[in-house]
Structure 1
Amino acid sequence: MAVDIKSLSHSQLNDLIQKAQARQDELRKEKVTKVREKVHALLNAEGLSFEDVFGAGANVRGGKRRGGGTGSVAPKYRNPADPEQTWSGRGKRPRWFNDALKAGKKEKDLAI
């Protein structure tokens, strides 16, 4: 499936890039899922748990935390359509937050 990128317009090229990045994310998630299944199968086969191998409270992602805090931040925003959904204001904005902004809401309208 060769694509002649020289013949694409700016918007077509941006669309292609977005689709390629989305596909790349899908493939990564699939790979992570397969590896996770293999790890769980190996642990089950050996009669061990994740905590046995990595210790209780092990950071699953493997990175070190900075600041020595608990790692959880109190939520600052709540989805008015579904109060169960909250966001701390850190990291990538959740879809419901962006949708509410597009619908005319202001950040202060979503604040807790």
Structure 2
Amino acid sequence: MAEFDVETLSLKELKSLQKDLAKAISNFEDRKKSDARSKLEGIAKEMGYSLAELIGTDVKPTRAPAAAKYRHPDNSDLTWSGRVRKPLWFVAALDAGKSPEDLAVN
């Protein structure tokens, strides 16, 4: 491994090095996980199973999208569930004097 003095590097070089290190660490972790998965799949196959059969399906459970609580007054395709950040059209409607009840989905 090459040795060098990080104290002599510029800020741009340090940030580039930091980015390269983060990528190298991520790639290393991905390789280790892939190796572990391959070994486990081999063991499962020797015993007559697939890894998915032993640990469950590979499909991650997903949550259904939240139901719309508010609808744009002019464009019914634009809706908002009332979660997270308010959309700009909702804020603009409130600023224009509408109330949340006026925009509620019926």
The answer to whether structure 1 residue 50 and structure 2 residue 41 are counterparts is: no
Question: In terms of Rg, which structure is larger?
Answer: 2
Deviation at 1:49, TM superposition (A): 2.1
Q: 1-side partners of 2:44 and 2:35: how far apart?
A: 14
Question: 1:31 and 1:50, CA in 2 relative to 1: closer, same or farther beyond 3 A?
Answer: same
Gap runs ≥5 in structure 1: 61-69, 75-112
Across the two proteins, how many residue pairs are aligned to each other? 64
Give the corresponding residue for 1:7: 8
Question: Pairwise CA RMSD of aligned residues?
Answer: 2.3
How far apart are 1:53 and its partner, in Å? 1.9
Alpha-carbon shift at residue 25 of structure 1 (Å): 0.9
Report percent identity of matched pairs.
17
> Aligned pair in 2 of structure 1 residues 22, 44: CA closer, same or farther (>3 Å)?
same
Any unmatched runs of 5+ in structure 2?
66-106
Partner of 1:71: 62
Rounded to whole Å, the distance in 2 between the matches of 1:52 and 1:29 is: 23
- SS state at 1:47 partner: coil
Cα distance per residue 1:85-111 (max 9 Å; x no partner): xxxxxxxxxxxxxxxxxxxxxxxxxxx
Cα-to-partner distance string for 1:38-87 (whole Å, 9 max, x where unaligned): 010000011112243224x4667xxxxxxxxx51566xxxxxxxxxxxxx
Runs of 4+ in 1 over 6 A off after TM superposition: none
